[in-house]
Chain A
Amino acid sequence: MKEFKVSHLLRYSLLLFFLIPYAIFLFYYKFSIDIDLSELLWALKNTLTQSTLTALIVTALSIPLSQGLILLPERLQTIVKRLLIVPQILPALYSILIAFSVLNPFPMGTMGIVFLFVLIDLGFATLMTYSVTTEKLGNMSVIGEVYSLGRLNFFKKIYFPLLKQDLIVNFFIIFIFCLSSFSIPLIVGGGRGTNLEVLIYEKIFVDQNWSAAFSLCAFQAMAIFFLSFFLLKNKQKDSEPFVAGNYLKSYVGLGVIIGYLGLYLGGYFIGLYKSFFYISFASMYVWDLYDAAIFTGKALAVYLTVNFIILVLWLLDYLNNKKFNLATNLISASTVLVGFTLYLAFPVTREYDLIKMTLAMSILFFPSLFKLFLQKPIEDLRQQILVAEVYGLSKPQIIIEIIFRQISKQMLLWVSFLIVWFISEYAVLKSLGVQTQTLGLVTEGFLSSYRLPLAYLMSFFILIYWVGALAVVSLILRVAYVAYKKLTI
């Protein structure tokens, strides 16, 4: 009975942790409709236009691109798949820099936002479409060829009818990512591309109109919850063995993949190369950079410790209940909502910056990064976990000896992205009202004032900082594991 209560307490405590912003919101929210309707409709129109256009474009393009991917031999396919996910998981900062270099002058407003969203999400959408194609179509393309169906007919009669539902789900995944995006519209929206998130931000920090901000937050939260409902059902897919017939291969798709990756990666390196000629300008900011780097390092240490504790508690909860916490579905929480509620809950002074940053970014990043890197590898260990339980291994032993030891590579990736998302983040910090300069905020300052070469140099510095931080964390984890083994022998 006691164990029963403790496991329930853990489960609900974890869920409540990730719902803190909504709890604070409900605490402060006094129901009053204080919205300028024309302003809301205009922001809503922008939001829907940006999200719908992006989702349509990337979903449509993902079809030929996934066929380009299928064309590749397995080893090359693995490399290209990893490259395709890079724009999605790298901080938005890098995509903005690349976009600014590629399109000069950059079209600020809705078109610019859509361009950036497409740049970021196209690779990810391609991988989603590739995944559903290989899981669901089995041998059908070959059979279509054997019976001379023709490519067009195959797509009309087989491909789209079978994959229609999955493509719609993919559309909504991208739609929701765009809907709740704040960092891109903040920099690139200008005045004309203001979406709901930016409007909320402006109500708080520019107009000081909190009741309007609350009303908009409530509206947006309901929209995201409603749409996310489509994604909450994690259906088990029975995958057929896949055979890549010619109807599912496309050289045009492959060409577009090469162009896309070339644009993204090549665009960054060319921009970075050009920025090295401006290093002397960067020397004016050396001491600001030094202070920002020191504070970022301290905050990072606290943040990683907290996330590690959350991970252990998350796994204990999983071992108790044999399924992941419901909070794993909170992958697209509103940045401004989270930032604003913590801005309200804590004093706006430097002393509280560290707590606010740690809380906000843990709530925002943990569920999505866990889902991206760790959820499936841990689910794949389900049978081994059962065997370990049957043989009486304790939960800490199962976590360390069975789970951590077998997913160490995925954990390294997870930590790696916890670090880079944290150190390059600026949008969340602005909505938190953080007073101290961080590496992300310094970079955003350069970006917003169109000092692109300095922003590039900062982005490169962040990459070096990232590698250094990861090396330190890896060393600490190795030492900790050796100490643990010595203690338990």
Chain B
Amino acid sequence: MSHIKNLRFKLDNFELDIPELNIPETGVTAIQGSSGSGKTTFLKTLIGLHQPSGWSWIFKGEELSRLSISKRKLGVVFQTYDLFPHLTAEENIFLILKARHEEQNHNEMHKQLQKYKSQLNLESCWKTLATNLSGGEKQRVALLRALVSNPRMLLLDEPFSALDSDLRVEARRTVKELIQQINIPVYLITHDQEDVNTLANHVIKMKAGKITQ
């Protein structure tokens, strides 16, 4: 279990108040709540953007709350995907690949990359500038970037909300197939019940900054 303790954080008029929370270290855990429930604030705290004092987050015996953003080694897919628009899909991936992997592991990672790239159907847009990609392509490139970054866990922040409803069904299926191949936990931030039904093994509910279930 990943163990969070004493997470209390005030931001403008909102307060995140999580005295204790255990999150499974395998499978997909959905963190579900409506708009304003605190999911994004919680996510930003896990990433390291917010730095409340006195809290603790232990994952596989390691204290992550004290680590800097880059040292937490997370894979994140933001709602807005945030690809680097001036780079092609390929360049977006390789930039992260070089940053996150030791040189001796590059060959192995390249093999994994080819496999995921094929599964995510990215061959046709591989050399396209990120700014010219469609919404679905951006989502898949952002996911691939997270997968090849050698993360200790994946955080998916409303990963399907920017897609049309017909694309969402296909995207959920693709993500589910990929997640089943990786051996790291996935935290899925969502308000969408369909996301939870399709992907989640465990559900944590949030309301007004607190865990309700």
Contact = CB atoms under 8 A, between A and B. Distances in A.
Given A383-B80, A402-B84, A390 B95 contact: no
Contacts of B82: 383-384, 386-387
Nearest to B69: A389
**Most B C-beta atoms less than 10 A away, residue of A389, A391, A401, A406:** A391
B1 interface: no
A187 B137 CA distance: 61
Nearest to B80: A383
Contacts of A384: 82, 84
Interface in B59-94: 68-74, 76, 78, 80, 82, 84-86
Given A386-B49, A389-B69, A406-B86, A394 B78 contact: no
B99 interface: yes
A449 B73 CA distance: 67
A386 B72 CA distance: 13
B145 A391 contact: yes
B86 A391 contact: no
A265 B59 CA distance: 65
B153 interface: no
B47 interface: yes
A392 B100 contact: yes
A405 interface: yes
B78 A405 contact: no
B73 A392 contact: yes
Contacts of B182: none
Interface residues of B, number: 23
Contacts of B37: none
B78 A383 contact: yes
B49 to A, nearest CB: 7
B86 A405 contact: yes
Nearest to B72: A390
A405 B91 CA distance: 13
A397 interface: yes
A401 B71 CA distance: 20
B176 to A, nearest CB: 23
A401 B49 contact: no
B96 interface: yes
Given A383-B80, A384-B84, A406-B86, A390 B69 contact: yes
A405 B70 CA distance: 21
Nearest to B81: A387
Contact of A391 (B49, B68, B70): B70
Nearest to A387: B82
Interface in A193-242: none
Interface in A419-451: none
B47 A391 contact: no
A393 B73 contact: no
B139 interface: no
A388 B149 CA distance: 11
A394 B71 CA distance: 11
B84 A391 contact: no
**Most B C-beta atoms less than 10 A away, residue of A3, A387, A390, A406:** A390
B69 A397 contact: no
A401 B47 CA distance: 22
A226 B100 CA distance: 49
Contact of B99 (A397, A405, A406): A397
A390 to B, nearest CB: 5
Contacts of A397: 95, 99
Nearest to A386: B49
B212 to A, nearest CB: 28
Contacts of A389: 69-70
B149 to A, nearest CB: 5
Contacts of A392: 70-71, 73, 96, 99-100, 149
B103 to A, nearest CB: 12
Nearest to A391: B96
Nearest to A389: B69
Given A386-B69, A406-B86, A393 B78 contact: no
A406 B131 CA distance: 12
A384 B95 CA distance: 13
Contact of B95 (A3, A386, A401, A406): A401
13 contacts: A387-B84, A389-B69, A389-B70, A390-B47, A390-B48, A390-B70, A391-B149, A392-B71, A392-B96, A392-B149, A397-B95, A406-B84, A406-B85
Given A3-B68, A406-B85, 9 more contacts: A386-B47, A387-B82, A387-B84, A390-B48, A390-B72, A391-B70, A392-B100, A393-B70, A393-B95
Interface of A: 3, 383-384, 386-394, 397, 401-402, 405-406
Closest 5 A/B residue pairs (Cβ): A392-B70, A391-B96, A392-B99, A389-B69, A387-B82
